[in-house]
Amino acid sequence: MADMEIHPYARLGRDNAETKRAAMKLTDLTIRTLRAPRAGAVIYYDDHLTGFGIRVSEGGTKSYILTHGPRRRRETIGRVGVVSLKDARKEAKRLLAEYTLGKNQPVTKSWRAAVAEYLDEAKQRLRPATYQSYKRHLHRQFRFGDTRMSQIAPHDLHRDLDRLRDRPGEYHHAFCALRAFIRWAHRKHYFDRNPMERMKAPPPPKARSRILSDDEIRKVWHACPDDPFGRLVKLLLLCGQRLGETSSITPQMIGKDTVSLPGTLTKNKRDHVFPLPAMARPLLHDLAYNGFGKAKARLDKDSGVTGWTLHDLRRTFASGLAALGVSIPVIERLLNHISGTFSGVVGVYQRYDFMPEMRDAVFRWEAHVAKHTAKN
């Protein structure tokens, strides 16, 4: 066999830290005695079934693998301990038979590798906020690891999605991220058939109406930690912009007393310039942050304010301005809305930027926040 002609300790290449060992008889006993290498990985091939073997990683993880075809394509069958040797060998024989007969020539790709490839491509075309949302959901909610894409069935995806049904917003966003990825994978031929083709999309979450009272604003403000998350919370309250846009602000976007968001960053893909409150300027640094869920839970506990989301701060901002007598067109301009007052023909011909009115509105809101967060 070709695999037996390889020197027992031959390297596969300078950039590949894997080593092939001579073929051996694989049994449950011999598999237990296989030791992890000091670095990289080592593959032990079965002397009874061509291409079938065990890959042992540096960390000690053992996986059944099958190497086949003229290009020596390798695919993972399953983890040792999760899949039995008998079942793994049976699956390897089935796959070899199908490949030999030409019935099955899929593009082999693991879930982990496919997600990484998808996100690498998606980063170039998605808005930063959408990209971060997709990345978070694909990594957190769907953990198939080294499982081959072709082995993932509709019920596997249903199982992971069903865990989120008690959180409608999270469920909806996770479904959208998964659907976008699966459609991409299907076009790449990582699936013979789209496993989500008969899944019904959940309805969008119901519109929220929660706003924070002045007392809740005070409690949340003083409970915010002096870290990227705490600064983001305060910026969302002071400026009323979206989380994804705010967390992506760079020094190049910050002017003397304004922030300029490029259309590549905003939800409606239009450039947006808004006045910068004096209280916000010290907060505009080191805003990149992951792990919002845990940080938000700690903030709820420390502040004693619950039942609100980060997006509710945008609604609090808008409602607070209205209560201060700011006109709806000015509020919509601050929020960068193109519906409502600025929809249709008005949006095409109305080019006044409302900057003086927006400055006045932001100044009044800043004074309101400062008054209710001042320490006695």
CATH number at residue 324: 1.10.443.10
Query: Are 138 and 68 in a shared domain?
Result: no
Q: Does some domain include residue 208?
A: no
pLDDT over 80 at 340, yes or no: no
CB 18 within 8 A of CB 40: yes
The three-state secondary structure class of 139 is helix
What value does the mean pLDDT take over residues 237-253? 93
Query: Are 75 and 135 in a shared domain?
Result: no
Q: Does some domain include residue 200?
A: no
Please report the pLDDT score of residue 5 as a whole number: 32
Structurally, the chain folds into a number of domains equal to: 3
The answer to whether the Cα torsion of 144, 149, 150, 154 is positive or negative is: positive
What value does the mean pLDDT take over residues 301-313? 95
Range with lowest mean pLDDT among 29-33, 289-293, 364-368: 289-293
Query: Are 122 and 143 in a shared domain?
Result: yes
pLDDT over 60 at 10, yes or no: no
Q: Does some domain include residue 118?
A: yes
Query: Are 181 and 218 in a shared domain?
Result: no
Query: Are 35 and 140 in a shared domain?
Result: no
Q: Does some domain include residue 194?
A: no
CATH code (residue 62)? 3.30.160.390
Nearest CA-CA partner of 1 in 48, 34, 35, 40: 48
Please report the pLDDT score of residue 3 as a whole number: 36
Render pLDDT for 249-284 as a digit per residue (tens, 0 to 9).
999 999 999 999 998 888 888 899 999 999 999 999
Query: Are 222 and 359 in a shared domain?
Result: yes
The three-state secondary structure class of 48 is coil
Higher pLDDT, 105 or 81: 81
What value does the mean pLDDT take over residues 328-334? 93
pLDDT over 80 at 20, yes or no: no
pLDDT over 70 at 7, yes or no: no
Please report the pLDDT score of residue 94 as a whole number: 86
Q: Does some domain include residue 17?
A: yes
Render pLDDT for 112-151 as a digit per residue (tens, 0 to 9).
999 999 999 999 888 887 888 899 899 999 999 888 888 8
Render pLDDT for 57-96 as a digit per residue (tens, 0 to 9).
988 899 999 988 766 778 888 899 989 999 999 999 988 8
Q: Does some domain include residue 204?
A: no
Q: Say how far apart CA 205 and CA 198 lie, in whole Å.
A: 21
- Could you say which DSSP state residue 209 is in? -
Write down which residue in 73, 101, 129 finishes a domain: 101
Strand (E) or helix (H) holding 186: helix 168-187
pLDDT over 80 at 105, yes or no: no
CA angle 106, 112, 117 (to 5 degrees): 75
What value does the mean pLDDT take over residues 148-161? 90
Please report the pLDDT score of residue 48 as a whole number: 87
Predicted TM-score of the model (pTM): 0.58
Write down which residue in 74, 101, 128 finishes a domain: 101
Query: Are 281 and 317 in a shared domain?
Result: yes
Query: Are 222 and 179 in a shared domain?
Result: no
And the tokens for 221?
Answer: 């403000």
pLDDT over 60 at 351, yes or no: no
Write down which residue in 101, 128, 149 finishes a domain: 101
Q: Say how far apart CA 353 and CA 366 lie, in whole Å.
A: 21
Please report the pLDDT score of residue 320 as a whole number: 96
Q: Does some domain include residue 203?
A: no
Query: Are 239 and 341 in a shared domain?
Result: yes
Please report the pLDDT score of residue 18 as a whole number: 65
Query: Are 285 and 238 in a shared domain?
Result: yes
In terms of residue numbers, what domain contains 355?
214-373
Of all residues in the chain, what percent carry a pLDDT higher than 90?
56
Q: Does some domain include residue 198?
A: no
Query: Are 344 and 325 in a shared domain?
Result: yes
Query: Are 259 and 335 in a shared domain?
Result: yes
